[in-house]
Amino acid sequence: GNSVTQMEGPVTLSEEAFLTINCTYTATGYPSLFWYVQYPGEGLQLLLKATKADDKGSNKGFEATYRKETTSFHLEKGSVQVSDSAVYFCALSDLSGGSQGNLIFGKGTKLSVKP
Amino acid sequence: DGGITQSPKYLFRKEGQNVTLSCEQNLNHDAMYWYRQDPGQGLRLIYYSQIVNDFQKGDIAEGYSVSREKKESFPLTVTSAQKNPTAFYLCASSIARQSSYEQYFGPGTRLTVT
């Protein structure tokens, strides 16, 4: 079945460091891929998405490229800020029949950025 | 402002009681979803609905029930049959159930059952 695997956290970085959070997926066909962010005690917010191979999603300095050949969608940011501290979820949108449109999530990666 | 509201933010119940979590959206979205989040876990789908008066079970529907009598409302009832109901519950909606459409999430309800 479809699944998402993302790197385990927590990830602790200093301000202005480079961030990579790895995400790989297993799916048939060409699912859409998403990154969501969750701040403490809140719901999820869409960070970026990509709907086809080689698409690059970007928002607020974050970016991720849909790599069909490596089934990956790694999240990157060149210079993190303390305000980026949150939990990040990678997700794919199921394509299969009756489940189409349902999201399958990774377990989340907690990021802490120190000043 | 368009969005999804969930109420209450915190809910406490005694074991054996049913409890209903509210979810309302004014985005005019057709599809709505309920997820459960446990510490260190991703989100797991409980129920989803594509249109009014129609809904389907997700991956962990046992012990839960839903209704969709209005487009904007999708309440979730956690019944006494749910063995481990303490969790963070998130409601979401999307324009339609297609793979390219993102889901928008509410702020969540934290349910504690003792």
pLDDT digits (tens, 9 = 90+) for A6-33: 998 899 999 999 999 999 999 988 899 9
User: Does the distance separating the beta carbons of A49 and B102 come in below 8 Å?
Assistant: yes
User: Does the distance separating the beta carbons of A34 and B90 come in below 8 Å?
Assistant: no
User: Does the distance separating the beta carbons of A98 and B45 come in below 8 Å?
Assistant: no
Q: Which of A29-33, A84-88, B9-13, B48-52 has the lowest mean pLDDT?
A: A29-33
Chain B CB contacts of A43 under 8 Å are 4, 6, 90, 105-108
Confidence of residue A72 (pLDDT cuts 50, 70, 90): very high
Chain B CB contacts of A59 under 8 Å are none
- Contacts by residues A4-7 (CB-CB < 8 Å, ≥ 24 positions apart): A4/A90, A4/A91, A4/A92, A4/A104, A4/A105, A4/A106, A4/B42, A5/A106, A6/A88, A6/A89, A6/A90, A6/A106, A6/A107, A6/A108, A6/A109, A7/A109
Q: Give the tens place of pLDDT for each residue, B16-64.
A: 999 999 999 999 999 999 999 998 788 999 999 999 999 999 999 999 9
Rounded to the nearest integer, the mean pLDDT of chain B is 92
User: Does the distance separating the beta carbons of B99 and A32 come in below 8 Å?
Assistant: yes
Judged by a CB distance cut-off of 8 A, whether residue A103 touches chain B is: yes
Of residues B68 and A96, the one with the higher pLDDT is B68
Interface test with B, best of A33, A39, A88, A99 (most B CBs within 10 A): A99
3-state secondary structure of B104: strand
Write down the pLDDT at residue A95: 72
Write down the pLDDT at residue A94: 79
Q: Name the residue facing B108 among A42, A89, A100 (closest C-beta).
A: A42
Chain B CB contacts of A107 under 8 Å are 40-42
pLDDT at B1 over 90: no
Report the chain B residue with the minimal C-alpha distance to residue A34: B102
Among the listed residues A75, A93, A113, the one whose alpha carbon sits nearest the alpha carbon of residue A4: A93
Confidence of residue B99 (pLDDT cuts 50, 70, 90): low
User: Does the distance separating the beta carbons of B98 and A100 come in below 8 Å?
Assistant: yes
User: Does the distance separating the beta carbons of A98 and B56 come in below 8 Å?
Assistant: yes
Contact residues, A window 42-61, toward B, CB-based 8 Å cutoff: 42-46, 49, 51
